[in-house]
Amino acid sequence: MHKILSKRELAQGTVVENEIEAPRIAAKAKPGQFIILRVNETGERIPLTMADSDPKRGTITIIYQVVGKTTALLKSLEVMDSIMDIAGPLGTPTPIENKGTVICVGGGTGVAVLHPITRGMHQAGNKVIGIIGARTKDLLIMEDKMEKATDELYVCTDDGSYGHHGFVTDVLREQLTKLGSAVKEAVCIGPVPMMKFCCAVTKEFGVPTMVSLNAIMVDGTGMCGCCRVQVGEETKFACVDGPEFNGHKVDFDGLSKRLTAYTPQEKEAMNLYEKKCACETQG
């Protein structure tokens, strides 16, 4: 059992941040790694990145977007409630070195995954350019933290309600044009289409690009193969070989399609859950 110590709603309640007791995991967590949790006895195992960890307090922080049954159930938990199972840290940590200048691009909840990597890159002595985006101003998360973790931060909204009016790819292209070969690496994390388009841009400029893939997972330890993704000629398991990969080699279209494997069942589960919640509030 893992106690929830804090709960904060971001982006108008569509995103939630929890600090959770998990001393063993907190002692080991590195940027880029994730956990797998199961809320209760009937729950599904879902992967979430550790947005932060505090080995002294023995806690980890997760930031998740509410997209379906499990994340809705997780959001229904309050401070001092417990999550039944958490396993981790899982996945290969991000290789963080001083390379010179790096660009970190994040979209939507991807910014939560991007932040610890950005901070790590900055602490390692890199000059870090940050670009973050959201559909609209109210859905933008972690601007303050990204501000601290970067040398320069650019903000974009699709609808122009805040910062640059347009996509993160526009700003990415501008920066790459301006800085040229000074940029040694790009890290792009967000929705699959965003990562795909960012990679198309960085490829033009020949800048190595790392992406973090959110394939559907079960165990997270390499024993089921559910999370397999096509990277170049090879099939990789996102949970152990990743979740980060060379974005120029990833088959994003294949990943997008695999993410729809359970769409009908996810809808069914969510509908049932909402009905049950409605009944409970009425009764």
Partner 1 sequence: MAEKKEQVPRTPMPEQKPEVRRRNFEEVPLGYAAEVARIEASRCLQCKKPSCVQGCPVNVNIPAFIQHIAEGDFAKAVFQLWEDNSLPAVCGRVCPQENQCEGKCILGKKGDPVAIGNLERFTADWARAEKDLPLPPVAPKTGKKVAVVGSGPGSLTVAGDLIRKGHEVTVYEAFHKPGGVLVYGIPEFRLPKEIVASEVNFLERLGVKVECNVVVGSTVTVDELLEDEGFDAVYLGVGAGLPRFVGVPGENLIGVYSANEYLTRANLMKGYLFPEYDTPLIKGDHVCVFGGGNVAMDSLRTAMRMGCDDVKCVYRRSEEELPARGEEIHHAKDEGIQFFILHAPLRFIGDDDDRLVAVELQEMELGEPDESGRRRPEPIPGSVKTIDCDLAIIAIGSGANPLITRTTPGLEVNKWGYIEADDDGKTKKAKVWAGGDIVTGAATVIKAAGAGRTAANSMHRYLSWGW
Residues that bind ligand FAD (CB under 6 A): 34, 44, 46-49, 63-65, 67-71, 109, 112-113, 214-217, 243, 259, 266, 270
**Amino acid making up residue 110:** G
CB nearer to ligand FES: pick between 226 and 269 = 226
Q: Binding of ligand FES at residue 44 (CB under 6 A)?
A: no
Q: Binding of partner 1 at residue 225 (CB under 8 A)?
A: yes
CB contact at 8 A, 212 and 113: yes
Q: Binding of partner 1 at residue 31 (CB under 8 A)?
A: no
Q: Binding of partner 1 at residue 55 (CB under 8 A)?
A: no
Pick from 113, 99, 68: nearest CA to 271: 68
Which of residues 38, 137, 164, 248 is near partner 1 by CB under 8 A?
Answer: 38
Q: And the tokens for 133?
A: 């985006």
**Amino acid making up residue 149:** A
Determine the interface stretch with ligand FES among 19-27, 95-103, 175-183, 220-228 (rule: CB under 6 A). 220-228
CB nearer to ligand FES: pick between 21 and 241 = 241
Between 192-204 and 168-179, two packed helices, what is the crossing angle to 10 degrees?
A: 20
Q: Binding of partner 1 at residue 54 (CB under 8 A)?
A: no
Give the C-alpha distances (Å, rounded to integers) separating 3 from 81, 222, 259, 282: 6, 27, 30, 28
Q: Which does 64 bind (CB under 5 to 8 A by kind): ligand FAD, partner 1, ligand FES, none?
A: ligand FAD
Q: Which does 230 bind (CB under 5 to 8 A by kind): ligand FES, partner 1, ligand FAD, none?
A: partner 1
Q: Binding of partner 1 at residue 193 (CB under 8 A)?
A: no
CB nearer to ligand FES: pick between 5 and 226 = 226
Q: Which does 65 bind (CB under 5 to 8 A by kind): ligand FES, partner 1, ligand FAD, none?
A: ligand FAD
Q: Binding of ligand FES at residue 239 (CB under 6 A)?
A: yes
Q: Binding of partner 1 at residue 89 (CB under 8 A)?
A: yes
Q: How far is CA 24 from the centre of its chain?
A: 22
Which of residues 7, 135, 164, 258 is near partner 1 by CB under 8 A?
Answer: 258
CB nearer to ligand FES: pick between 95 and 222 = 222
CB contact at 8 A, 89 and 172: no
CB nearer to ligand FES: pick between 131 and 239 = 239
Contact residues toward ligand FES (CB under 6 A) are 217-220, 222-227, 237, 239
